Chains A and B, each alone.
Chain A
Amino acid sequence: MNLKNIIKINKNLKNSLFLQVLYVTEFYFLWLNPAVHDVKIKYRKSILGPWWNVIANIIFVILLSLIWGQILNLPIRDYIIHIYVGLIVWAYLNDIVISSVTLLTGKFSNYYKNSYIPLLSINLRNVLSAFISFIHNLPIIIIFMILNSNEIHNFFLFFIGLIFLFFHSIWLSLILTAFGTRYTDVRPLVISLMSIGTLVTPIMWKKDMLGKYSELVYLNPFTHIIDIIRDPIISNSFNGYLILTNFIILVIGFLIASIILKYKGHRIVFWI
């Protein structure tokens, strides 16, 4: 598709997620290059850059595992992997959620108010820069998988989990950007919900600990998102159920984002 055709279809660009997907695919450098630029600028004056987060996570998880593993009488090695993966995925999702609600009222306010660009491009830029920081944890996870004697198909399943995580962040970011721009109260509300989410999502505890109520954790969509990453690292069995539930969450998420854009996409610029 050339530029002229893109301009022609631009008529409903702000109201159509599908057209926005075509647009950001054609003009990938509109979000991909700026996302890499954002990461470089963010860590420019830092010696270790995003590796600081990795080091902080390792120290935090080791200390937490030693204390809680002892209290709960759990095997330390399993517990370290459980907490580390849960924590980094949660921290990433938390970053996406909090940054998305203020995306258009903060950093990108002037840019969005004065440029003809699809909302999706800004969300992709935000999500990708957070994702680049997140994947700095990859070497630690690979070490865990090697230590855990994971089979090769687990590496493949883990990779699928990463893809799901990336796409979940996009719909989440789109929806929260729209609501966060429209209503001032959304930001404090979301921050409170994420604090509660830290406790009710199996990050530091295991769902088996809930006994007969263990299945209730699956009412929380974040459990599915974290587990699709964590399961292939911890267990050697294939869990098709998680792929199915993640796929359903993904479809519902994009459907909601698409409905919001269809009816309110062209008004978002007036809300800033």
Chain B
Amino acid sequence: MALIKLNNVEVSFNADFSKSIRKRFFDKSKFKKIVALNNINLEINESERVGIVGDNGSGKTTFLKTIARIYEPIKGSVQVEGKVSSLIDIAMGLDEEANGYENIYLIAWQNLMPTKYIDKNINKIIKFTELNDSLYRSVKTYSSGMKLRLASSIFINLEPEIFICDEFFSVGDSNFKKKFEKKIKDIIKKSGIFILASHNINDIFIFCNRKITLSKGKIINDERI
């Protein structure tokens, strides 16, 4: 059973972060804190498809990274139950020198899938990508749309219980979106959770049944759609 629970979560950064040794040890001026997520209380249960909207800098990506446990909150607690698969940056973990086929294995290993599982599912993933012969070309020759197809096909077929995506649909064509939508529905049927952050409100209405609006790191609206 998938579950996400956030209690009084605060995530903050140092606005003047510097990698300089001199500044770190000899500059005594006070650091300016940016609160990226402020007092977030939220519960997302199984079979929910949550769309996160908000302006640039409202905290959408930080919110996703906090749920994916990439960022640790400085206050509050995050409880995540279920296998998380997060597609926050399409280039993440892709090896540009390797071909698409090798990258399927690489990304699956990096997402805790053993070789046996990949061997069993490789044909399904290859079919989903629709990259055909291009799959055996070096990924550095791919367009951003092809990289998206490859990365999202791998992630979506890893059978996640919680699937997190950051706004990347802008580079996907409509056929691929339809196929992706069907796959998302399959995940939800298996009591999973889907979270999508996007500026495109149409994508939120297509893929989600709950919309959360963030502004300056706070939830200002949480509604069923």
Interface residues of A (CB under 8 A from B): 3, 7, 10, 13-14, 27, 29-30, 33-34, 37, 41, 44, 110-111, 113-117, 182-185, 266, 269-271
Select the stretch in B87-95, B123-131, B169-177, B178-186 that faces chain A.
B87-95
Interface string of B62-90 (1 = CB under 8 A from A): 00010011111000000011111010110
Contact yes or no, B114 A114, CB < 8 A:
no
**Contact-residue size bin, chain B (C-beta under 8 Å from the other chain):** 35 or more
Q: Which residue of B lies closest to A8 (CB)?
A: B81
Select the stretch in B41-49, B104-112, B190-198 that faces chain A.
B104-112
| A-B pairs with beta carbons under 8 A, tally | 82
Contact yes or no, A110 B93, CB < 8 A:
yes
Contact yes or no, A185 B21, CB < 8 A:
yes
With beta carbons under 8 angstroms apart, the residue of A13, A33, A184 that contacts B109 is A33
In the bound complex, CA of A114 to CA of B110 (Å): 12
Residues of chain B contacted by A185 (CB below 8 angstroms):
19-21
Interface residues of B (CB under 8 A from A): 13-14, 17, 19-21, 24, 65, 68-72, 80-84, 86, 88-89, 91-93, 95, 97-98, 102, 105-106, 109-115
Residues of chain A contacted by B71 (CB below 8 angstroms):
269-270
CB distance from B76 to the nearest CB of A (A): 13
Q: Which residue of A lies closest to B103 (CB)?
A: A37
CB distance from B47 to the nearest CB of A (A): 19
CB distance from B61 to the nearest CB of A (A): 9
Q: A116-B86, A270-B13 are in contact. Are A34 and B92 (CB under 8 A)?
A: no
Residues of chain B contacted by A114 (CB below 8 angstroms):
65, 70, 86, 88-89, 92-93
Contact yes or no, B19 A34, CB < 8 A:
no
Contact yes or no, A33 B115, CB < 8 A:
yes
Q: A33-B109, A116-B84 are in contact. Are A41 and B114 (CB under 8 A)?
A: no
In the bound complex, CA of A7 to CA of B1 (Å): 13
CB distance from B171 to the nearest CB of A (A): 16
Main secondary structure of the interface of B (DSSP, over half): loop
CB distance from A47 to the nearest CB of B (A): 18
Residues of chain B contacted by A14 (CB below 8 angstroms):
72
Q: A117-B110, A183-B20 are in contact. Are A37 and B102 (CB under 8 A)?
A: yes
In the bound complex, CA of A10 to CA of B68 (Å): 11
Contact yes or no, A266 B72, CB < 8 A:
yes
Residues of chain A contacted by B24 (CB below 8 angstroms):
183
CB distance from A161 to the nearest CB of B (A): 30
Contact yes or no, B89 A37, CB < 8 A:
no
Contact yes or no, A111 B112, CB < 8 A:
no
| For the complex of A and B, 5 pairs with smallest distance between CB atoms | A266-B72, A114-B92, A184-B19, A114-B88, A116-B69
Residues of chain A contacted by B95 (CB below 8 angstroms):
37, 41
Contact yes or no, A33 B105, CB < 8 A:
yes
Contact yes or no, B20 A184, CB < 8 A:
yes
Contact yes or no, A115 B93, CB < 8 A:
yes
> B86, B91, B105, B110: which has the most chain A beta carbons within 10 Å?
B110
Contact yes or no, A111 B83, CB < 8 A:
no
In the bound complex, CA of A27 to CA of B68 (Å): 18
CB distance from A190 to the nearest CB of B (A): 13
Contact yes or no, A113 B70, CB < 8 A:
yes
In the bound complex, CA of A29 to CA of B110 (Å): 8
Contact yes or no, B69 A37, CB < 8 A:
no
